[in-house]
């Protein structure tokens, strides 16, 4: 059997390496990105560049979107007039959204998909650009088990773990909880570091003791060097983490769950986001305590 | 050379196993505890039970205190009238406080010690009862390098790592930062878990994904089972963690450092502390979201 035709919309830090892994796995690939030049390396590697989201959707057995936020997703799906992707999806095709958006939007897409005879998975990812490049992403998946089964060959080309978490929306719910957890872990370390440094001690001492203690955490080992040096070149940009925390707080608000520390952390991420035009990694929340 | 006589005041979850390790290492040991029956197993193992803090101090070349909070420490040192320990300390002796107290109290003791010709270290610990039993505590130490050098044989009987962090007060500063970090890490996980569960998904799913992601953290692996099951038998009691967070926030307030997430987390620990008479582990902060 020939490989299904795959479409990919969104060629940013994550989408680009995901596309390369799809090509390496032998899938015919059609791509689209708002800034077309981002497609260059994929086109050089054999992908076809489409003229619109609609053209990608129309040519795909499996469509994948991975864009930066809910408005960007609604834009490519529905709000691009005749160029919109969703109305062009083929009956029986599979649509996988790997953007991080609200569970409510995932369920809205699921309802529209059911009506149109399209099989939809919300499947946001974790693992960062490193995981995307190695094909070792972790997919958090909401939707029907049979759809996941059918999508596995495509997902396995990009990821090492596929977690089926529940019905549509479940993938996004767990993803928002995960990213809030990461954001508050980094915030916790930033606050501890700020306390130690303002008390006149070297932050390196805190890191050294932390690494011998139960407070040790993977993300802190990764972020500590930049938080000590002040070099915040983005791996996962603060503006996107800020968006994810905000989506988590929106969800919490809708269902009536108080998240006091997450809410407090969001304010510091907001402060740093609003205080600079630089594109910082989210470890740059440390700038909140800059003298 | 014969072993120095060691005194130990405070025979709780930490002090008790620390005393046993001092005896195993061959140090003559005199002990005191407010509730004298807590000394039984140490006396059976060869320790001498003193009648007062003063009697311990008077007989010690090296005195160690490990009590629950600043008032308890001031009580044994100064506020027990003729039974107070501090005035009885011998000139030239070493005094090590392993309680968690404010850096300001550590510096007050340091100043009094300097006047009296006593060599003082603030040396709070991390590693929990497990670390105390195995003799694998991590000591966070403030004070003079020469004093630490002289105290090493005694400290090494109880710990696997001795971090010299700066002058007196530095040990307590790093300890408060570390415990705040732990408290906010657990809070971060509690909030993520509450969000997922209230959204109708099993918390186990969050744990499963977390353990495959960068949000993985030692303390979360340890605390997740009790936070899922609701069994909060104390390993490190919430009331003591609440005290440590409060000491960290006091320090932050004194030196003018904003710690928004730590402050928000403290409110949830306060809520749980005030809502039950049970002695819960600090993972019991999860009770904040109990229906």
pLDDT score of A30 more than 70: yes
Beta carbons of B7 and B31 less than 8 angstroms apart:
yes
Interface contact flag, B180 A191, Cβ < 8 Å:
yes
Distance from CA of B145 to the nearest CA of A (A): 16
- List C-alpha distances in Å: B110 to B105, B113, B170, B248: 8, 5, 12, 20
Distance from CA of B76 to the nearest CA of A (A): 28
Torsion on CA atoms B80, B82, B85, B87, rounded to nearest 10: 120
* Model confidence band, residue A258 (pLDDT cutoffs 50, 70, 90): very high
Q: Residue A5 — left, alpha, or beta (φ > 0 → left; ψ -120 to 50 → alpha)?
A: beta
Please tell me which residue of chain A has the smallest CA distance to B180. A192
Q: H-helix or E-strand containing B125?
A: strand B125-126
Q: Where are the domains of chain A?
A: 6-166, 173-290
pLDDT tens digits, B14-40: 999 999 999 999 999 999 999 999 999
pLDDT score of B1 more than 60: no
Report residue B284 as tokens. 């019991």
* Model confidence band, residue A1 (pLDDT cutoffs 50, 70, 90): low
Residue of B134, B152, B175, B291 marked catalytic: B175
Specify the CATH architecture of the domain B6-166.
3-Layer(aba) Sandwich (3.40)
Report residue B112 as tokens. 């009094």
Torsion on CA atoms A264, A269, A271, A276, rounded to nearest 10: 170
How far the first Cα of chain B sits from its last, in Å, is 63
Alpha helix positions (H), A87-200: 103-116, 128-134, 145-156, 170-198
pLDDT tens digits, A49-106: 999 999 999 999 999 999 999 999 999 999 999 999 999 999 999 999 999 999 999 9
Beta carbons of B127 and A213 less than 8 angstroms apart:
yes
Stretch B254-260: mean pLDDT: 98
Choose the mutation target among B176, B185, B214 for the interface with A, i.e. most A CBs under 10 Å.
Answer: B214
Determine whether domain A173-290 maps to CATH 1.10.1040.10: yes
Active-site annotation holds for A175: yes
Q: Which of A94, A96, A129 is nearest to A18 (CA)?
A: A129
Residue of A48, A134, A152, A175 marked catalytic: A175
Stretch A149-176: mean pLDDT: 98
Torsion on CA atoms B158, B159, B164, B169, rounded to nearest 10: -60
- Asked whether this chain's domains B6-166 and B173-290 adopt the same fold, the reply is no
Per DSSP, the three-state class of A150 is: helix
Residue B35: per-residue pLDDT: 95
* Model confidence band, residue A2 (pLDDT cutoffs 50, 70, 90): confident
* Model confidence band, residue B254 (pLDDT cutoffs 50, 70, 90): very high
CA distance A215 to B277: 28
CA distance B257 to A194: 7
CA distance A10 to A97: 11
Whole-number CA gyration radius for chain A: 20
Alpha helix positions (H), B127-169: 128-134, 145-156
> pTM above the 0.90 mark?
yes
Stretch B112-116: mean pLDDT: 98
CA distance A66 to A89: 16
* Model confidence band, residue A291 (pLDDT cutoffs 50, 70, 90): confident
Distance from CA of A54 to the nearest CA of B (A): 33
Ranges assigned E (strand) in B19-58: 29-32, 48-49
Residue A92: per-residue pLDDT: 97
Per DSSP, the three-state class of B216 is: coil
Percent over 70 (pLDDT), chain A: 100
Residue B194: per-residue pLDDT: 98
Residue B2: per-residue pLDDT: 78
């Amino acid at each position: 059997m020939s490989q299904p035709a795959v479409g990919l919309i969104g060629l940013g830090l994550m989408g680009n390496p995901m596309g390369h892994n799809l090509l390496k796995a032998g899938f015919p690939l059609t791509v689209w990105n708002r800034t077309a030049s981002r497609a260059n390396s994929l086109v050089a590697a054999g992908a076809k560049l489409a003229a619109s989201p609609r053209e990608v959707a129309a040519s795909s057995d499996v469509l994948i979107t991975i864009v930066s936020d809910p408005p960007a997703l609604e834009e490519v799906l529905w709000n691009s007039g005749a160029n919109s992707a969703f109305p062009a999806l083929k009956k029986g095709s599979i649509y996988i959204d790997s953007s991080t958006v609200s569970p409510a939007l995932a369920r809205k897409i699921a309802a529209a998909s059911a009506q149109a005879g399209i099989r939809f998975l919300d499947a946001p990812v974790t693992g960062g650009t490193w995981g995307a490049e190695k094909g070792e992403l972790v997919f958090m998946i909401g939707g029907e088990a049979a759809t996941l089964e059918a999508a596995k060959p495509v997902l396995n080309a990009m990821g090492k773990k596929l977690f089926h978490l529940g019905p549509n929306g479940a993938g996004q719910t767990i993803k928002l909880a995960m990213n809030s957890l990461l954001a508050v872990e980094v915030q916790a370390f930033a606050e501890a570091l700020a306390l130690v440094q303002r008390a006149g001690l070297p932050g390196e001492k805190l890191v050294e003791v932390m690494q011998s203690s139960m407070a040790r955490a993977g993300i802190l080992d990764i972020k500590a060097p930049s938080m000590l040096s002040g070099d915040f070149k983005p791996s996962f940009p603060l503006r996107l983490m800020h968006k994810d925390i905000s989506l988590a707080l929106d969800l919490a608000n809708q269902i009536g769950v108080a998240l006091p520390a997450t809410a407090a952390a969001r304010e510091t991420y907001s402060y740093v986001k609003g205080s600079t035009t630089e594109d910082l990694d989210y470890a740059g929340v440390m700038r909140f305590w800059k003298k």
